[in-house]
Structure formats: C-alpha cells, structure tokens
Amino acid sequence: MPKASELKKGDVVNYRGAPHVIKKVESKSPSSRGASTLYKIRMNHVKTGQKVDESLKGDDILADIDFERRKMQYSYKDGDGFVFMDDEDYSQHALSASELGDDQLYIFEGMESVGGLIVDDQLIAIELPQSMIMTVVDTAPGIKGASASARTKPATLTTGLVVQVPEYLESGESIKVNTEDNRFMSRA
C-alpha cells in the first residue's frame, strides 16, 4: 500500500472503493513550522474518467489495486471505439472515445507501442509516452527569417490536434509534441 508521498503519475490505486489512475502529483510545503507536507493529487476514475482532486498528507495510505501494465499497439477504429492489440498474447481490447478523452488526439495509424493498464483482463486506460513525433498537415505558410523564439501560429496535426508552433514551420514537417501539455517541443 503506497503512501501519498510515494505516488507517481501512472500508478493505479483504490480510492473510495474504485480504481483510479494517478494523473498528476504536486507537493506543497506549508510555511508554518511543524506542518506536514501536503500532496495535491489529481486522479481519474478508470471506468468513468471522472476527475478527482484530493489533498493528502505524506503518510496517508491508499490501497493498491491488482493491475498489469502491458505493451499494446493501436489496431483500428471501430465506430466510436479504438481497438488495441496486446503485443504479448495478441488479444484485442477496445476503449471508447470518452474513455480515452484527450489521449485520442495522439492515436494514429502506425504509431509505436503504448502502455495499457489492465484490470481483471480488461483494458481500462492507456499510457502515452512523454513525447510523440507527429506531422503538421495544415498551418499558415512559413515566414522566412522568423527566429525560433519569435511568435507562434496554430498548426493542425494528422490526428486533428492543434498546437502552437514557431512561424518558420510549414505543412508536411514532423515535430515533437509533449503529450502532457500539448506543446511543441522541437522539429523531429
């Protein structure tokens, strides 16, 4: 059973009788002497996707949940569902667009493996890598002489995700995007 101070992004815990995936952990040190450090934890219910924010003390304990992390590969889209195949046993699991939330903007044909969280032989969530390389399909024409620290412009990527990119980028270029905050990192 992990303490609140030991939690990290991607852990799965039992919170109020249901499995939740930890999305973000922030530590806050109060200024008064003798006060304990507080951990602000954002987690999502694995089945409904409902977000929960909770502040816990460092020694508060959350119950573990029995789960597996498996490498999966995106296979195809079936109506509203996204079908993933387990790399080890080739079983197929589906998640709906609502279960994926914003993560669906990073799913495309031929993408590399993603992590799958499996509870009771059912895929409950996927874990994207920290960054992904994607192609710009639509943006305003590049401006010659624009520097890397200059203004930005919106660019639409292959999956429909829109990110702000430097003015010198053009359609057809590959870029590296941070999956946590949807920000341009660099050219690929």
Mean pLDDT across the chain, nearest whole number?
82
3-class secondary-structure state, position 4: helix
pTM above 0.75, yes or no: no
Q: Would you say the CATH fold of 131-187 matches that of 68-127?
A: yes
CATH fold label, 68-127: OB fold (Dihydrolipoamide Acetyltransferase, E2P) (2.40.50)
For the chain, domain boundaries: 4-64, 68-127, 131-187
Reported in sequence order, the residue ranges of 51-182 that DSSP labels E, i.e. its strands, are 51-57, 63-64, 68-78, 81-86, 92-96, 114-119, 122-127, 131-139, 152-157, 162-166, 174-178
Contact 62, 16 (CB under 8 A): no
Of the candidates 119, 105, 28, 18, the residue with the CA atom closest to the CA atom of residue 68 = 119
**Interval 7-46: pLDDT, tens:** 877 778 888 888 888 888 888 877 666 667 888 888 888 7
**Superfamily name and number for 131-187:** Nucleic acid-binding proteins (2.40.50.140)
134-156 pLDDT, tens per residue?
889 988 887 666 555 568 889 99
- CATH topology for 4-64 is SH3 type barrels. (2.30.30)
Give CA angle at 46 (56, 126), nearest 5°: 110
- What is the percentage of the chain residues whose pLDDT exceeds 70? 91
Q: What is the mean pLDDT of residues 84-88?
A: 88
Report the alpha-carbon distance of residue 28 to residue 66 in Å, rounded: 29
Cα–Cα distance between 44 and 39 in angstroms, integer?
A: 16
